[in-house]
């Protein structure tokens, strides 16, 4: 048996290192059209963030950045998945609910039944949801129909056979008969929901998807499993895995998960990361929350987005999102 203490130590260090995300696209910069954050007087209180795991590192970095501006503000972060945001907002356990998918109408109802009105979703960053394989995997690209046949048991994409070996995807040689080992997120995750809605055509995941509590664990699973495949936010890309270029259909062109392709909508799994907050003026609203969201949409906030491996908003988007804060 070829194991030793060093290996054990290495995997511990490895898992720790994963929490430090690798910058996906070093060339990204924040558009100069996005203004620097302007400090406002008299801001204090608590920012309690509960929600998306995709935003876990982002939330922490944002929190640190915000605390630098307002040292007397307390920031707490709990990132167990987007679906944890609506219950936390409803009970006012959290006042900022980051989500990596849009809130479902039913979840809106949950919050509205406690607040008396619906929460406001503000887009704060761009993510290209990536399909990861091991770095030594020769697979070139995938279409939604094939992704659906790999991950889903309902195969609503219409592929007529289940894909369970790499040979089914056209890989030859030693890969031909190797079973595909599937990693995914748990159902609380917005990434899970987004992937299910788009890549699985709203179908159901196979029971054999190994559900991991965080995207870091998905990426680590794939990095250690030569025959693994998984999905997650591009911010979690590490040298051990490769993000596969995707096309929506067999006829469509194939695009890499880059900033340009995400902005233009050519990469088919681009999405917004959002925060849900209470912006209703007067009742319940907290100026510190509004300032926090303004900070996220500032130059500093967007630089943090890039630092964490996600993609920044454009000035046009920022203007549109800031308007939501001023609405009654």
Footprint of other proteins on this chain (CB under 8 A)?
Answer: 1-3, 7-8, 11-12, 15, 80-84, 86-87, 90-91, 101, 104-107, 109-110, 153-156, 158-162, 164-165, 177-179, 181, 186-188, 190, 192-194, 196-197, 202-205, 207-211, 213, 221, 224-225, 327-328
| E-assigned strand segments in the chain | 45-51, 73-79, 97-99, 120-134, 142-143, 181-185, 210-212, 228-233, 241-243, 246-247, 270-277
Q: Distances from the Cα of 74 to the Cαs of 42, 79, 105, 183, 312, in angstroms?
A: 14, 17, 31, 35, 25
Tell the smallest beta-carbon distance from residue 112 to other proteins (Å): 8
Tell the smallest beta-carbon distance from residue 117 to other proteins (Å): 8
Are the C-beta atoms of residues 111 and 270 closer than 8 Å to each other? no
- Cβ closest to other proteins, residue 52 vs residue 302: 52
Tell the smallest beta-carbon distance from residue 111 to other proteins (Å): 9
Tell the smallest beta-carbon distance from residue 16 to other proteins (Å): 11
- Cβ closest to other proteins, residue 11 vs residue 74: 11
- Cβ closest to other proteins, residue 128 vs residue 129: 129
Tell the smallest beta-carbon distance from residue 303 to other proteins (Å): 29
Tell the smallest beta-carbon distance from residue 298 to other proteins (Å): 27
CA 31 to chain centre: 22
CA 71 to chain centre: 28
Strand partners, 255: 246
3-state secondary structure at position 275: strand
CA 320 to chain centre: 21
Tell the smallest beta-carbon distance from residue 187 to other proteins (Å): 5
- Cβ closest to other proteins, residue 69 vs residue 108: 108
- Cβ closest to other proteins, residue 12 vs residue 40: 12
- Cβ closest to other proteins, residue 228 vs residue 290: 228
Q: Distances from the Cα of 92 to the Cαs of 3, 49, 153, 327, in angstroms?
A: 48, 11, 38, 21
Tell the smallest beta-carbon distance from residue 309 to other proteins (Å): 22
Beta strands at 270-277 and 97-99: parallel, antiparallel or unpaired:
antiparallel
- Cβ closest to other proteins, residue 116 vs residue 316: 116
Phi, psi (5° rounding) for residue 96?
Answer: -135, 125
- Cβ closest to other proteins, residue 67 vs residue 165: 165
Angle, CA of 184, 156 and 199, to the nearest 5°: 40
What does the alpha-carbon distance between residue 110 and residue 108 come to, in Å, rounded to a whole number?
A: 5
């Amino acid at each position: 048996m070829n194991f030793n203490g060093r290996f054990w130590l290495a995997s511990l260090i490895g898992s720790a290192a994963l929490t430090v995300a690798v910058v996906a696209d070093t060339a990204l910069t924040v558009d100069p059209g996005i203004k620097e954050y302007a400090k406002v007087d008299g801001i204090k209180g608590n920012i309690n963030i509960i929600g998306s795991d995709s935003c876990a590192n982002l939330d922490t970095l944002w929190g640190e950045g915000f605390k630098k501006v307002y040292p007397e503000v307390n920031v707490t972060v709990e990132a167990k998945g987007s679906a944890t945001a609506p219950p936390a907002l409803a009970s006012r356990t959290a006042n900022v609910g980051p989500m990596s998918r849009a809130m479902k109408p039913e979840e809106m109802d949950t919050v509205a039944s406690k607040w008396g009105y619906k929460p406001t979703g503000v887009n704060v960053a761009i993510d290209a949801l990536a399909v990861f394989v091991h770095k030594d995997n020769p697979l070139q690209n995938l279409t939604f129909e094939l992704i659906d046949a790999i991950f889903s048991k309902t195969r609503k994409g219409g592929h007529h056979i289940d894909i369970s070996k790499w040979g089914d995807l056209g890989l030859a040689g030693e890969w031909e008969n190797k079973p595909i080992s599937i990693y995914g997120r748990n159902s609380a995750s917005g990434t899970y929901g987004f992937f299910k809605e788009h890549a699985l055509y709203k179908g159901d995941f196979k029971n054999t998807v190994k559900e991991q509590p965080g995207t870091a664990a998905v990426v680590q699973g794939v990095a250690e499993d030569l025959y693994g495949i998984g999905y997650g936010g591009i911010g979690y890309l590490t040298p051990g895995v490769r993000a596969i270029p995707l096309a929506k259909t067999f006829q469509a062109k194939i695009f890499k998960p880059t900033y340009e392709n995400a902005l233009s909508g050519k990469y088919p799994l681009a999405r917004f990361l959002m925060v849900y907050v209470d912006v209703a003026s007067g009742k319940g609203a907290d100026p510190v929350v509004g300032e926090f969201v303004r900070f996220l949409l500032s130059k500093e906030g967007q630089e943090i987005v890039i630092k964490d491996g996600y993609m920044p908003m454009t000035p046009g988007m920022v203007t549109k999102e800031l308007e939501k804060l001023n609405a009654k």
